[in-house]
Structure 1
């Protein structure tokens, strides 16, 4: 693949820049997991939630180095799942490919559910399904028109929420140094340290905080999915991966520290965004409306990234399939995007309002996020195994973007993903998705082991 060409071999356009890639990864990762889910995480374990974020952020960075090494060796791939097919076999790749795509659809459903909730803040009588259809139609259209338009839309979506986080961090720092007082007391570091215990609600709650924090980091791998559509993949990839973890940790850790310095952590409500609660507490009268706009933008940004990623992933599944039905999804549109893959993904994301309407589902957002997390865990673990096999294969590029100490860190990552999966069982609301994840592995895993429609071919064009 000519590094100076603007078009990949398959017809997709390479028009994304480094700033687009950085924002796509941030947009896919910094979403409702922080803006909505942080309240739940903080109330579970208090200031020690910072430790949970640091642990999970560190392991995500290690995983991204492994994915980055394989993509650097073959930047023509649209998804890292292709490497599972190459190094673990076509049937394992078939299982991982469909599992990951369904995981993307679930995350898209979660974000679409959140979008409807935020819009109803201003229009409480509007039907949620109407809101969801309109938002999904608009964002799908953006993805169908051109890669660069998607990149620009995601850049500004992500910029809004990043500015909001930085504004809150700056406000918190100013309040600490000015000894600002709120109705709940003085803004101070002492809100973090006074009476500090590692497990204020017990180790059970500490472990139970891991699934929501894990969900908050999902989407970091989008930085790899976008690589094939950048102008110079091997130049952009190392820089993007090495920088993204520091930025995400800054936004997450910085935001969480400020929230808990301003607002005593044990007083946070789990039914409202911590950002809304903090700005309301410091006297910003329009806090609810302003922050609601930010979190709405955040959810739309994440949904935008999900549509982008799921469309390209389904295209990859189609190219590796011999099924007559899948031949309709092997084409690239005149705009240089896998239009049919984007459309089928968007249609399935529309099942979100159906799930929300089920009488047995009390919290559709929590149910869908847990379901997506267990599917991601399975695929992430297989990806790490694929990286280990890559390092032992003839494809290994010794002068590439190497992950350090892979013989130690790859097995450590597998153990980590296993621990996160087990932590799903510590919360009764995650129990059903966790069990269904095991059922999925057993049922679809058996089917995939017998499936012969996939082929082990992958583009090796450099």
Structure 2
């Protein structure tokens, strides 16, 4: 039958996806959480970032390989239903959609607090509604406008990181001293220990670093919106290791070269300290602007991602209640899916009014991280099934050493998930994620198959 629907337009250019891929490796966790991460385990935090970065790269290569075979898919999760069955696909797809919704709500809460920094008299809930309405409006236009918005959001984050790395290099070349200590690599190497605060703190840092990397798989969905999805996908994914080394490892090395890691406070952004050190008195304002755009970028990406996921889920599951979300606007946007998604995120300001919202924020983001791990593990299992299917193309965008690296990655993600039950800050969210897995897993299991 001929498809009479308005197709989703491929409105993103290569420059959009390439910069979105770069910025996607830079999260608010780096700007705000670098001090806490470094305080846990010192310079060995670099090893943790390298390990998680390598695991995420393997995950992205497997996702990229499947999308390369079928670039018409707007979500990599569609492959779960294809290779693991409808029930598993139903469970993981809706889990992923809800997780990103929760992540978006957390980012919107953060945006409200960042704006409050400048406008303490302005109601937080009103600023949250304004930002959500603005980003929703931009997302109703077409994929090109999303790309432009995300392009400039990402550019701000990249300039901040590069500026800090260049600052460290200049201070080292001029033999600058900070607190009576010379800026240089000796601040990292002198008295180096892998576990300066104990083995438990080293493993506790994995959860924090994992949170900084989640949602990096979003690059797969942006590639589906480009004019040349296969070419763009390969470029974006293959360059991720270099970007991790430059922007994450580079930033952390720069921070620890300027300050002895023992002197970096856990509750303060090192970016503020560094910009103040070079004479920028309004460093707090500068960093607040950067983290605001970073959170806005994450919210913008979440809107784009959850809208496409809801559209894809509605087409796949075929439930009558979901039919409205399959409709496209003239500009190729699943408009009803976008408005419904925004409507759910709209409840964020009301959550912000609940006493103890800071704890709620931590809980939501922690649960999201836990469930992201579940999604990643099932996605990797899906890939192993894909490798055994007739769809596998040994001449395509093949994941290197997949038979060894993919099982190792599955085991590593599983161990990180299990480790969450052994730390006070993560045990309650870990239990909450188990409740969701059990409860929604039962719903998915006993849901009638769409083929029956």
How far has the Cα of 1:258 moved from its partner?
Answer: 0.6
Report the Cα distance in structure 1 between the residues aligned to 2:451 and 2:313, rounded to whole angstroms: 10
Question: Equivalent residue for 2:118?
Answer: 122
Matched, 1:377 2:373: yes
Distance, in Å, in 1 between the alignment partners of 2:351 and 2:266 is 22
Point out the more displaced range, 345-354 or 221-230: 345-354
Are positions 1:391 and 2:393 aligned together?
no
- Where does residue 459 of structure 1 map in the other structure? none
Q: Render the CA deviation track for 1:142-196: whole Å, top value 9, x for unaligned.
A: 1111110110111111011101100100010111121112236321212112222
2:158 counterpart of 1:162: yes
Q: Counterparts of 1:269 and 1:359 in 2: how far apart (Å)?
A: 27
Take 1:45 and 1:292, find their aligned partners in 2: how far apart are those partners? 26
Aligned to 1:50: 46
Q: Aligned-residue CA RMSD in angstroms? A: 1.9
Report deviation, 1:271: 3.0
| Contact 1:329–1:341 (Cα < 8 Å) also in 2 | yes
Question: Where does residue 209 of structure 1 map in the other structure?
Answer: 205
Equivalent residue in structure 2 for 1:17, among 3, 13, 16: 13
* Counterpart residue number, 1:92: 88
Of 68, 75, 90 in structure 2, the residue corresponding to residue 72 of structure 1 is 68
SS of structure 2 residue aligned to 1:418: helix
Q: What stretches of structure 2 of length at least 5 have no aligned partner?
A: none
CA distance in structure 2 between the partners assigned to 1:211 and 1:260 by the alignment: 21
| Partner SS state of residue 145, structure 1 | coil
Report the 3-state secondary structure (helix = DSSP H, G, I; strand = E; otherwise coil) of the residue aligned with 2:71: coil
Choose the corresponding residue for 1:292, options 278, 288, 302.
Answer: 288
CA distance in structure 1 between the partners assigned to 2:174 and 2:18 by the alignment: 34
Looking at structure 2, the residues matched to 295 and 8 of structure 1 have their Cα atoms a distance apart, in angstroms, of: 43
Match of 1:226 in 2: 222
Is the CA contact (8 Å cut-off) linking 2:13 and 2:226 kept in structure 1?
yes
Q: Is the 8 A contact 2:314 2:322 kept in 1?
A: yes
Residues 1:10 and 1:57: Cα distance change in structure 2 (over 3 Å): farther
Give the 3-state SS of the residue equivalent to 2:239 in structure 1.
helix
Greater Cα offset, 20-29 or 276-285 = 20-29
The residue that corresponds to 1:239 in the other structure is 235
On the 8 A contact 1:184/1:264 being kept in 2, the answer is no
Partner residue, 1:405: 401
Match of 1:197 among 185, 193, 196: 193
- Of 103, 107, 121 in structure 1, the residue corresponding to residue 103 of structure 2 is 107
1:38 equivalent to 2:34? Answer yes
Q: 2: distance between equivalents of 1:158 and 1:247?
A: 13
Distance in 1 of aligned mates of 2:357 and 2:112:
16
- Return 5+ residue gaps in structure 1 as ranges: 1-6, 457-462
Are the counterparts in 2 of residues 22 and 244 from structure 1 also a CA contact under 8 Å? no
Shift of 1:8: 12
Task: Specify which of 265, 271, 277 is matched with residue 273 of structure 2.
Answer: 277
Cα deviation for residue 280 of structure 1 reads 1.5
Maintained 8 Å contact 2:86/2:449: no
Give a deviation string over 1:208-263, Cα, whole Å, max 9, x none: 11111111111211111112211011121111110123113310000011111112
Using the alignment, how far apart are the partners of 2:46 and 2:394 within structure 1? 36
